Every structure is written in C-alpha cells, then in structure tokens.
Amino acid sequence: MIRVDKLDLSRVPSGVHRFRVETVPNATGEIMTVPVLVKKGKKSGPIVGFTAAVHGNELNGLHVIHRLFDEISDETLNGTVVAVPVCNLPGFLNNQREFSDGQDLNRCFPGKHKGTPSDVYAYSLMENVISQFDYLIDLHTASAGRINSLYVRADLKNPETKKMASFQHAQIYVHNAGGDGTLRAAACERGIPAITLEIGDPSRIQRSLVARTLDGVLEYLSALSMLNFNSTEPSEEPVICDRSYWIFTDVGGVLQVLPDLTQRIKQGDCIAIQKNLFGDLIKRYFAPEDGIVIGKNVNPAASAGARLLHLGIPND
C-alpha cells in the first residue's frame, strides 16, 4: 500500500495497486487518507471510477467494489478501473450518514479550498482522486430508517449518462439532472459523465442486490470494450420515471407505510397511516398521483416533516 498526496494514474504501471490518498488534517493534525483501489490493464482504454460510502453508513456499494475487483483481471482489461470503497471516512468510522461536522458530504461538492471541514474534504477528494476519471458511477443506499429499491438516478436527457444508466440492471430509472451539490453533479460539471446507483438499504450488505448491481457494472465495462462479459438479463423490465419526489408527514406519531418497494400505486390509494401513542388513528395519507414506490420510511417514530414515501412518476 502506497501513501500519496494525489493520485496520478499516468505514473501507475499495469496491475493491481492500493493507495492511501491524502485529504485534509483532522483535529489531531494527522492528514486523513482515503483508500483507493486501482486495476490497470496492459492495454489503453477508459478510466472508469467507482465511489462508495459518500454517506458513511451506506455500505452495499463497498461490497460491489470488492466483488468487482475480484471479478476483473488486469491481464485482459483494457483501460483502468479505479475505486474509492469508502469516501466518507469519519462517517464510516462513526456509522453515520454525515461527515464529522454534521454536514451531508453529498451536498458539498465540488467543495472549497477554504471553507467548512466538509467543504475542504470534498474539494480534496475531487482534486486528488475524482479528477482522474473519464466516467464515474457513485454507489449509494437508502439512509437510516428508510429502504430503497435498486434504482438509477441520472440525467436521462444527456446521451452519455443515459447510455451509462441503460446498462445497469436496476428496477427503476429516475431522471434527475443534478446540480444540487452532489458528487455526481460536480463530476458532470467537470465533463466526467456520472450516474448514481441506489442499492437497497443502509448499514448492511444485501448480496442479491450486490450481485445484480455487479452484473450491470460489468455489462457497462463490456460496452466500453474494457472487458468481455456475458450478461444475465434481469427478470423484469425496468420502470422509467421522468421525475420523483418525497411525500412527507405533517403530524407526529407512529407511522406505518403500506405499499411495498416497486409497487405501483394509484392516485387516492391510502399509502400510510399514523397513530398516537395510545393507538388512536390520527392521520391517513393518500397518493397524490399515480406512481411507483422507489423508497419508503420504515421507522415507526415519525415527527411532523419526516420522509414518508419516495414516489416515482413513470413516463408510461
């Protein structure tokens, strides 16, 4: 394992390499590092980057990266695959979504040379690692207290990112142009086509979703002529959504969200109920329009303003 102040792939020979790339000093004065895996083929080709755990408790992507590096061979690889299995080291160590200053790191990109701790960290990660990529696939899961389907979030009006998304074996595809401080948006603004894969639930490894995600990733690398991969088609057709949004609670109480993930719902369907601590029904929630369930809250303790259900609006 080699410690470097900045990743420089032009100086990395073919083969498998492990780096600790420096970011910023923590409160002890020690410079924090992020782990970076590199597998460089003997023939030239694209540089495809993978990032995981930008939110420190979202871990399915970490396992996808491990499986990916087990699967591909640098002997037959054309180009380079780079992965940051844990981007948010402080969040990972504390088993929390946020960075050490309590900020959502995925709202801080591209970061700032001078700013808050999360701003400076995001800037360092962007400059020292992400800037090297030709393409980026950012791996996420739902947040604590919520669960997700396997879905892609991408600018589906951009031909390159639409193509990237099309190879993924997702259940749902959601058009989202970005521009909200995410790593994906910051990469796209730098001319690095990027998509986000949301892979199920936080703080756990879901092997079936990991395997399905890995198939889609390998299929995309094959489409780039970086390797040969015979795809296994997913059992169901994906649902394409033009937009999506969260529905929120407007009272506090014990929440039960009724539909399952990927379930189609109709306008006016009852999608959740809330009771008080005595068991009295205090609120029913109804679907505002036809859609599909992308994600949902599974934490019964819900204050007013809690996320309830992530509704996708299909284009069919």
What's the CATH number where 284 sits? 2.40.50.100
Same structural domain, 69 and 208: yes
**Is the per-residue pLDDT at 146 higher than 80?**
yes
Look at residue 238 and tell me if it is in a domain. Answer: no
Look at residue 136 and tell me if it is in a domain. Answer: yes
Q: Answer yes or no: are the C-beta atoms of 204 and 53 closer than 8 Å.
A: no
What pLDDT does 294 receive? 98
Same structural domain, 292 and 160: no
Rounded distance, CA 199 to CA 216, Å? 12
Give residue 196's domain range: 2-223
**Is the per-residue pLDDT at 230 higher than 90?**
no
Report percent pLDDT > 70 for the chain.
Answer: 99
What pLDDT does 235 receive? 67
**Average of pLDDT values for 141-167?**
97
Q: Which string of DSSP letters, residue by residue, matches 250-302? A: SS-EEEEE-SPTT-EE-TT-EEEEEE-TTS-EEEEEE-SSSEEEEEEE--SEE
Same structural domain, 213 and 291: no
Question: What's the mean per-residue pLDDT of the chain?
Answer: 96
User: pLDDT tens digits, residue range 257-316?
Assistant: 999 999 999 999 999 999 999 999 999 999 999 999 999 999 999 999 999 999 999 987
Look at residue 21 and tell me if it is in a domain. Answer: yes
What pLDDT does 179 receive? 75
**Is the per-residue pLDDT at 119 higher than 80?**
yes
**Average of pLDDT values for 73-92?**
97
What pLDDT does 278 receive? 97
Same structural domain, 106 and 32: yes
**Residue 253: which region, alpha, beta or left (left: phi > 0; alpha: psi -120 to 50)?**
left
What pLDDT does 231 receive? 74
Same structural domain, 162 and 208: yes
Total domain count for the chain? 2
Look at residue 56 and tell me if it is in a domain. Answer: yes
Same structural domain, 103 and 164: yes
Same structural domain, 92 and 7: yes
Same structural domain, 21 and 68: yes
User: pLDDT tens digits, residue range 250-263?
Assistant: 999 999 999 999 99
Same structural domain, 218 and 252: no
Same structural domain, 308 and 200: no
**Is the per-residue pLDDT at 180 higher than 90?**
no
Q: Answer yes or no: are the C-beta atoms of 85 and 62 closer than 8 Å.
A: yes
State the DSSP H helix or E strand holding residue 210, giving kind and residue range, or none if neither: helix 207-223
- CATH assignment of the domain containing 63: 3.40.630.10
**Is the per-residue pLDDT at 98 higher than 80?**
yes
In the block, residue with structure tokens 């080699």:
2
What pLDDT does 158 receive? 96
**Is the per-residue pLDDT at 75 higher than 70?**
yes
**Is the per-residue pLDDT at 208 higher than 80?**
yes
What pLDDT does 232 receive? 73
What are the residues whose beta carbons fall under 8 Å from the beta carbon of 166, sequence distance 6 or more? none
